[in-house]
Structures are given as C-alpha cells and as structure tokens.
Amino acid sequence: MLEIFYNIVGKECRTGDTSDRVTCPRTGDALWEAPLASETDLEDAVKSARAASSSWAATSVGVRQNLLRKFAAEITAQAAALSGILAQETGKSKLLTSQSLSDEIVHEDATVKVIATRTPLGVVAAICPWNFPLVLATGKIAAGLVTGNCVIVKPSPFTPYTTLKVVEIALNTFPPGVLQALNGGAEIGRGLTLHPGVDKISLTGSTATGKKIMECASYSLKRITLELGGNDASIVCEDVDPASVARQVAIGCLFHSGQMCVATKRVYVHKSIYPAFLHTLVEEFEKIKTRAPVDFPSTFGPLQNNMQFSIVKEHIEDCKARGCTFATGGKADEGPGFWIEPTIVDRPPDDALVVAGEQFGPITPVLEWETEEEVIRRANNTSSGLGACVWSTDMARAERIGRKLEAGSIWLNSFEKPLPMAYFSGHKESGVGGEWGKQGLLSYVNTQSLHIYKDPVLGRL
Ligand code: NAD
C-alpha cells in the first residue's frame, strides 16, 4: 500500500509505538500517519548496517552501479504516485515534484611508487531537511552506496513520507541492512550522530543544527559533511538589460517560494539601473498566483511548515518595525495552509533581518550599489558562504567579481542552478566539506596511501 509508511530496519518494514502526522502546507489538513523510530529501531538499524557492511564493501563499483540503476528504474516506475505524495508533504505543485573511484598513482620514481586507494567508510547516516526531501536524500544515498557504504537515511519529520516509501522500494534491490530509513526528529538525529557504530554523518540542514552535529560527532571523530544555510547575493551590474535580468533574478528568488538553500536572498542592483530593474522585478513578483491548486504548474507554493511560516512573518515584522518600504507584498495569508505573498523590500538597511539573516521564503530585499569594491564588501559581509550570482555583459568583469565572492558556488549570468557533476559546498558557516562531483564522492571514502618498494633490501622498484 502506497499510503502506509514504515521505518525500514534490516529487511523489515516496521511500524512503531508512536507515530506522527504532518500538516499539509497547502490546506492545513493532517496527512498520513508515519511511525517514529525508537531507540531500539536505531540500535537494530546500526547493527544491520554493520552486519551488511563488509560484504557490501566487497562488491565492485560496477555491481553497485547496476543495483542503483535498478533502484532508479523502480522509483521511476512509481514516479507518478511518489510525486503525488511529495507534492502533498512539501506543498510543491506537481510540476516540481557515474563515476568510478579507481586507484590513482600519485607518485612514481626509481625507488617508490605511491598509489592512493579508496575504501568505504562503513556506515553513513544521511540526515535530511524538508525543502527538497527526495533529491537531497537520493544524492546522499547514491554517493554513499556506490562508494561501498551502508546508508541509514533520516528524513525530516516535516517530510518523511516519500523518503520512507523510496527506501521501502529499495528492499527489492539491495541486501538487508545496506539501505535503511528511520523517521524522527532531532533525538534520532542526535542518536545517530553519537552512535559509535556510525562512521559518517552527512547533514543537509541549518547552520545551527550543523554546529550541534559537529560537536556530537567530535566524541568519536566521525567524518562529517555539513551542507548548511546560505544568504546568496545576486549582483547586477549597470551594463545589463535590467528587464531581462530582473525576470531571471525573480526565478532565483521565488523558486519553491525561496525555500532553497541557494535561493537568491539579497539582490544588489547598480544605482543607475535601479528604478528600471525594480519595476520589472515587481511585475514578475505580482504575476505569481498564490493559492493555486496542486495541478496548476507553478514553482511557487506555500511555506512547508508552521515554523518556517513564523520565521518569514518575523522578517516581515522586522521590516515594518524599521519603517521599510514594501515595493510589493508584505502580507501573510491567514490560512488555511502556510501561504505568504511574494514580497519585495525596497532598499532596507544592511542590518535588517531580511538582509543579514536567512529568510528562506518569498521575501526579497533589493539594495543599491555604486562601486565594485563596495558591493563585494557588502555581499561578503555575512557569516554565510553558500552561493552567489553576478550579472554583467562584460564577462571579464563578472568573473573578476565572482572570484572575489566568499561562497562555494558562483553563477555568472544565471540564477542558482546546482549541477550534480559540480562540487557543491558552503564556505564559512555554510558548511564543512561538500557533496556532488568527484570531490563529493571522495568524502564517502577513506584514502589509503600505498607506498610500494619492490626491493625490500635496496628500496628500489
Ligand atoms: P534543520 O537543521 O532544522 O533540520 C535538518 C535535519 O537535521 C532534520 O532531519 C532534523 O530532524 C535534523 N536535526 C535537527 N536537530 C538535530 C540534532 N541536534 N542532531 C541531529 N540531527 C538533527 O533544517 P531544516 O529546517 O530541515 O532545513 C532548512 C535549512 O537547511 C535551511 O537553513 C537551508 O538553507 C538548509 N539547506 C541547506 C542545503 C545545502 O545544500 N547547503 C540544502 C537544503 C537546505
């Protein structure tokens, strides 16, 4: 049954003594029951993963890739049903809903050859957020499994359903213990982070959670990858066509209603084109239809949960308290569901919450700049460093500015579009390590340096 959900432990689909129902962000209705994992489930999952670990690590990368393809085919076969569940739990409309790591010779001379070999870490816990539950979980699952690790996924308790279902489907493909899922909140996440049987934590979540995980992981010196919050600046130079760039920037701000780690969260526009740019940006924001039904093809929806709804309302209140001008919007809808209309704040001060913090919602501050040195300094004046964009028809200038921005991913003449082949990482408090691309895969393995002296007496090859 597609709408019954289980924790997946070993080869079992487990219900539990306690369960939870998520609130549908569109309608405010309670969704299905999902069991919450207990401490026993956690212990059993780690035991199963450790039991499966050595034989899974012994399979070849090719075998693992084939199994992942089979798994992908099974998910694809059920895509329509899964996207229906995903739309309900995230609030998205239905629209949104191979590499090998061979040994590497790193040095060779007459005396010694040094080979870098890769071995799996063992058991990886993948702790996921609610904004893109499936794409972020499957990125960790694919990287963890293909490199020979066993993976325990913990979805966000705000969006457990699709992840639990996908891991249940995986029971058809992988040996027991290789891929498991435990639903629950911070306690289960903390339990995985402290557990001596878990070798790595890969978290995508907030900076505050990243700090807690780093502290708990330190007790057993676990490997960690932390993909955390951002405050992306988009810098618009005076040599662009303001209207066409404003239309693109609007997508960067409002995709999934701004609930994206690399959403555009601050827009800096050169003073000479500011009025024309703002005019089109307002037009674009006002074209958005809020409260559209789930079948209406839109990348805009409600906030996913009440907590995030309150955070965005707090940003609006802070702007009001400071007497800021709203170029459009500025109102939360009273419900049902968690809808906020697309909002633009016209030149708020740099210390306003909406400029200095992470709004993670459909409210965008637009700011004016005059000199390159000034805008780079203001864009970098944050503890975040996830992404940034630069728009200019002078490519040398765009690149010069981009290279000076303190962020893990920079887009020149585009809004933020992460690609799986590119390493994705946060600088400063936006993360530790990163995922995707070959460098991301390497974060799921130990590198062993094999020093080969063929002649033990003479030390020569
Ligand atoms: P969150 O930090 O509240 O939760 C993320 C996950 O961590 C959840 O599964 C949660 O249950 C778990 N968790 C919470 N406390 C924990 C603890 N003490 N120990 C272990 N696990 C714990 O984040 P969220 O609200 O779900 O997601 C939104 C945040 O995620 C935003 O800040 C956003 O920018 C960030 N994000 C970052 C990226 C990226 O790739 N850098 C991508 C998406 C979202």
pLDDT exceeding 70 applies to what percent of the chain?
Answer: 97
Atom of ligand 1 nearest to the CA of 212: 18
How many angstroms separate the CA atoms of 26 and 295, rounded? Answer: 12
How far apart CA 131 and CA 260 sit, in angstroms, is 7
pLDDT, one tens digit per residue, over 150-167 is 999 999 999 999 999 999
* Euclidean distance between CA atoms 456 and 461, whole angstroms: 9
Q: How far is the CA of 401 from the centre of ligand 1 (A)?
A: 30
Percent of the chain with pLDDT over 90: 91
What's the CA-to-centroid distance between 383 and ligand 1, angstroms? 17
In angstroms and rounded to an integer, the radius of gyration of the C-alpha atoms of the chain is 24
Q: How far from the centroid of its chain's Cα atoms is residue 217's Cα?
A: 20
Atom of ligand 1 minimally distant from the CA of 216:
19
Question: 254 C-alpha to center of ligand 1: Å?
Answer: 20
Model pLDDT for residues 287-310, shown as the tens digit of each residue: 998 888 888 888 999 999 999 999
Contact predicate 380/386, CB 8 Å: no
Q: How far is CA 76 from CA 62, 146, 153, 301, 447, in A?
A: 21, 19, 20, 24, 34
- What's 140's DSSP letter? H
Which pLDDT band holds residue 100 (cuts at 50, 70, 90)? low
At residue 227, φ and ψ (nearest 5 deg) are -105, 110
Report residue 65 as tokens: 């890739």
C-alpha separations of 287 from 247, 282, 284, 298, 337 in Å: 11, 9, 5, 11, 21
Q: Which one is catalytic: 3, 108, 227, 399? A: 227
- Ligand 1 neighbourhood includes 38 CB (under 6 angstroms): no
Given a contact cutoff of 8 angstroms between Cβ atoms, the answer to whether 236 and 267 are in contact is yes
Cβ neighbourhood burial of 372 (10 Å; 0-12, 13-18, 19+): middle
Confidence class for position 107, pLDDT limits 50, 70, 90: very high
Tell me, what's the pLDDT at 293? Answer: 85
Q: Residue 461 has what pLDDT?
A: 55
SS3 333: coil
Going by the DSSP 8-state scheme, the letter that residue 15 receives in this structure is -
Catalytic site residue 370? no
Structure pTM? 0.94
pLDDT at 311: 97
pLDDT 10s digits, 246-274: 999 999 999 999 999 999 999 999 999 99
Name which residue sits closest to atom 20 of ligand 1, judged by CA: 189
**Which single residue is written with the structure tokens 């690609």?**
419
Quick one: pLDDT at residue 320? 97
How far, in Å, from the CA of 79 to the mean position of ligand 1?
25
Q: How far apart are the first and last CA of the chain?
A: 62
- Quick check: 32 pLDDT over 60? yes
Give per-residue pLDDT as tens, 379-431.
999 999 999 999 999 999 999 999 999 999 999 999 999 999 999 999 999 99
Per the prediction, the chain carries an average pLDDT of 95
